[in-house]
């Protein structure tokens, strides 16, 4: 099951596929990639981090960054979600976690990416916490401690645990300590928003009246996913106008050139007016406060 559903030999995502986030990329490269390229340097006090946590608002590229890490350093990539690690049968979830880490050691160097880790490793002692969740959490902590263990005179297998969450304040304190390097993935700045627009629209014709700098200014506070949604919606506008009032037969008979019209300034304005930012100022302050305390 682990090999079929979780193991990915090469996610095939590069740094260049991700707009902006230069600081996050540099931190991830230093924390994860360079120890693989320069193992002799990363010894003793410079040893690689046991685990890395990426946190921030939803839709900011955390999953893409994890895949890029695995691609750039050529590690085997284990893409894990909470549903994959849970079972209704007592004891099965812990077995899945043990098997996951055993396979990661076997295929080392490897990266275990646990998305939405807060859903399985929330703070202990909460009234809503299920016994099965506690057992899974304990097994993950034990396995992370065991990553560095190796027979005498044998270098330990290189296994990096890379986790992501939109709710860092929910994560268990013991796990937070093991995720030694914590990297905030913020909303895109102006330069990154412009890069995102160009990346999303590279295969879409755009009319001459579209001012990318103006759009960039208007979408301040939007996440990367929000910006992608705006570009997708604007690129569909010409098609919607063209097929309005037509029968299914007429729509099927339309040539591609008839609906492949450039996205106009009006199209982008309409899309921005109906797609709001998914992240509030209150949410941003909570991330900033957590970063000040634990980042």
Nearest to 203 by CA among 251, 256, 156, 260: 260
Q: Is the pLDDT of residue 92 over 60?
A: yes
The tens digit of pLDDT for each residue in 116-143 reads 898 887 765 555 556 667 788 888 888 8
C-alpha span between 295 and 283 (Å, rounded): 16
What are 203-217's pLDDT values in tens digits? 999 999 999 999 999
Distance CA 129, CA 29 (A): 35
Q: What is the value of pTM for the model shown?
A: 0.85
Angle, vertex CA 63, rays to CA 60 and CA 69, nearest 5 = 115
List of long-range contacts for 101-104, beta carbons under 8 Å, 24+ apart? 101/143, 101/146, 101/147, 101/159, 103/2, 103/3, 103/7, 103/78, 104/76, 104/78, 104/157, 104/159
Least confident range from 139-148, 174-183, 247-256: namely 139-148
Q: What are φ and ψ of residue 9, in 5° steps?
A: -65, -40
β-sheet bridge partners, residue 274: none
Please give the domain boundaries of the chain with CATH numbers for all domains: 2-187+288-294 (3.40.50.300), 190-277 (1.10.8.60)
Cβ-contact 210, 263 below 8 angstroms: yes
Please classify residue 261 by burial: count the beta carbons closer than 10 Å to its beta carbon, then call 0-12 exposed, 13-18 middle and 19+ buried.
middle
User: Are 76 and 82 spatial neighbours (Cβ–Cβ below 8 Å)?
Assistant: no
Question: pLDDT tens digit string along 46-87?
Answer: 888 888 999 999 999 998 898 888 888 777 888 888 777 766
């Amino acid at each position: 099951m682990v090999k079929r559903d979780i193991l990915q030999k090469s996610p095939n995502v590069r740094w260049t596929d991700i707009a902006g986030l230069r600081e996050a990329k540099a931190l991830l490269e230093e924390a994860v990639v360079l120890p693989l390229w320069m193992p002799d340097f990363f010894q003793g006090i410079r040893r690689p981090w046991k685990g890395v946590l990426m946190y921030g608002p939803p839709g900011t590229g955390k999953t893409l960054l994890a895949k890029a890490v695995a691609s750039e350093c050529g590690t085997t990539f284990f893409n894990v979600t909470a549903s994959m690690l849970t079972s209704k049968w007592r004891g099965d979830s812990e077995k899945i976690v043990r098997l996951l880490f055993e396979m990661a050691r076997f295929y080392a160097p490897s990266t275990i990416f646990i998305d939405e880790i807060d859903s399985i490793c929330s703070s202990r002692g909460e009234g809503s916490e299920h016994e099965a969740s506690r057992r899974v959490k304990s097994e993950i902590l034990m396995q992370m401690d065991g990553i560095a263990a190796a027979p005498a005179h044998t270098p330990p297998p290189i296994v990096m645990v890379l986790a992501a969450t939109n709710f860092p304040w929910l994560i268990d304190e013991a796990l937070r300590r093991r995720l030694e390097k914590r990297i905030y993935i913020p909303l895109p700045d102006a330069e990154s928003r412009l890069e995102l627009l160009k990346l999303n629209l590279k295969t879409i014709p755009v009319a001459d009246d579209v001012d990318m700098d103006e759009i960039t200014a208007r979408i301040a506070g939007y996440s990367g996913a929000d910006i992608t949604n705006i570009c997708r919606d604007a690129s569909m506008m010409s098609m919607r106008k063209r097929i309005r009032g037509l029968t299914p037969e007429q729509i099927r008979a339309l040539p591609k050139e008839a609906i492949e019209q450039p996205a106009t300034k009006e199209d982008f304005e309409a899309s921005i007016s109906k797609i709001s930012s998914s992240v509030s100022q209150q949410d941003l302050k909570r991330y900033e406060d957590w970063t000040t305390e634990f980042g």
